[in-house]
Amino acid sequence: MLTFFRKIRQKLLSQNRVTRYLVYAIGEILLVVIGILIALQVNNWNEQRKAAIRWKTYQKRFIEDFEVILEDTENSILGNEKNLRNSILVKNALESKYLPDSSIINFETYLGQYHQYYMTMAPLSTYEEMISAGELNLIPSSKIRDAFSGLSGYRSFIIEVNKAYHDAEIMKTSEFQRYVRYTILNPGTDSSKVIPSYDFNSMAGDSVLINKVSRQSVAWNSILGMFKGYKMYVSAFRDSIQLNIEKIEIP
């Protein structure tokens, strides 16, 4: 088409017909402009389609991440529930100065794990990948971006709280260590086991130690609430993303 216009333009110039030459020249320019606009529109449509496909792919990976996170969080909840139960059992045993045979295993488990907190959590891998790739702009809603930011912050907060409690317990191990001695059976093997030996009567007579255990029960209870709240957050977010995937139409 442009070649056709060019031939006409050259013919008009040779015939010195300037007015008609200008008309055809303008027509040629308009065709070029229209062609550029169409090309830009097609390119824009292609980019939007690619972005929609990438966003849908990311959302499917979010679902996979959430399933891993929920399983990991559920394990943390179960572990915290055990720690909370054991700390209450130890407190009650020390206060009553009585340790029944049925409670010995839980009592000794607590002595070996009282300083252990959950300082690692399953990561938000896909969200972190989007940040590194500079593709957060693919998330079409500021509410979704804010929700991810809030979830990431919630996760970091739980880890920081657990680390703070862990560090505090490590600094105060003398409160337990004066009464407890540990023996490792089959060290360095898969069947190795730590056995605590302790002076229960002396422990039961130490009000400072009992207060420490009671404070730790409060800590475990607070941490347990955090993990349960995090699980609810992740579960609701997962369901929302799943619903959004089903609604997405690729242009």
pTM: 0.78
The pLDDT, as a whole number, for residue 28 is: 58
Exposure string of 121-149, with b = 16+ CB inside 10 Å and e = fewer, is bbebebbeebeeeeeeebbeeeebeebbe
Residue 1 belongs to some domain of the structure: no
Of 58, 218, 226, nearest to 156 (Cα)? 226
Residue 238 lies in a domain: yes
Average pLDDT over residues 111-136: 90
pLDDT digits (tens, 9 = 90+) for 129-174: 999 999 998 888 888 889 999 999 999 999 999 999 888 888 777 7
Q: Which residue has the higher pLDDT, 90 or 25?
A: 90
In a domain, 24, yes or no: no
Specify the length of the chain in residues: 251
28 class by beta-carbon count within 10 Å (0-12 exposed, 13-18 middle, 19+ buried): middle
Query: What pLDDT does residue 32 have?
Result: 56
**pLDDT reading at 36 higher than 90:** no
Domain total of the chain: 1
Q: Do the domain assignments include residue 207? A: yes
With respect to residue 46, please indicate whether it lies within any of the assigned structural domains. Answer: no
Domain span at 139: 51-247
CB atoms within 10 A of CB 172: 12
pLDDT grade, residue 21 (50/70/90)? very low
Asked if the structure places residue 76 within a domain, the reply is yes
Q: Residue 242 falls within a domain, yes or no?
A: yes
15 within domain boundaries: no
Task: Check residue 149 and give its pLDDT.
Answer: 92
Alpha carbon 216 to chain centroid, angstroms:
27
